[in-house]
Amino acid sequence: MAGQSLPAAPAAPSKTVAAWLALLGGLFGAHRFYLHGWRDWAGWLHPLPSLLGLAGIIRMQNLGQDDLASWALIPLFGVMMVVAMASAIVIGLTPDERWAQRFAPPGAEPASTRWGPVIAVVVALMLGGAAGMGTLAFGGQKFFEYQRLRGEGLHGAAQGAWLHCPHVFLQPRCRRGAA
């Protein structure tokens, strides 16, 4: 067996790839699956709230702003966007030496990541800040609108917007009062 070489050690995950996956696919946990594999339970917590938030956006586009279910679902999308951008920032700002300690095989030299993670961090700061401010503004606005509707006794009328059209994804032109 003198002619055979030892199997190569598995390559360490790239910090640049992980930061960009968090930026572009973090809503669905792509960075978690890249770093920890498909069995990562925290990675599987990302897709459901992200898809529910996206469903809220679609509901509001189809039913208008009177849909109370979308009021509750849209902030989930914003929160998951902030979580994904925060993950990109944390990954991108992790020092190369610490990254090597955590993910590289023992004794491997830390790889120089250059500007890739830095650019991902800058974009994540912009998107995460916008998503966070937008989510707070939307949530606050809808909270106070709901309080006003409740005070005027119109809560049932606004809630009826989505009760009359539960098949909102099948009929995009369905509006309040039309079945």
Instruction: Tell me the pLDDT tens digit for each residue of 76-127.
Output: 999 999 999 999 999 999 999 899 899 888 877 777 888 999 999 999 999 9
CA 22 – CA 87 distance, rounded (Å): 6
Quickly state the pLDDT bin for 8 (edges 50, 70, 90).
Answer: low
Q: Which amino acid is at 76?
A: L
Q: Report the mean per-residue pLDDT for the chain.
A: 84
- Domain coordinates in residue numbering, the chain: 15-103+112-163
CA 35 – CA 30 distance, rounded (Å): 9
Q: Which two tokens stand for residue 94?
A: 């992790």
DSSP, collapsed to helix, strand or coil, labels residue 167 as: coil
Question: What percent of the chain has pLDDT above 70?
Answer: 80
Q: What is the pTM of this model?
A: 0.77
The string of DSSP codes covering 28-90 is GTHHHHHHH-TT-TTGGGTHHHHHHHHHHHHHHHHH-TT-HHHHHHHHHHHHHHHHHHHHHHH
Q: What is the pLDDT of residues 142-171, one digit of tens each?
A: 889 888 888 887 655 545 444 445 544 444
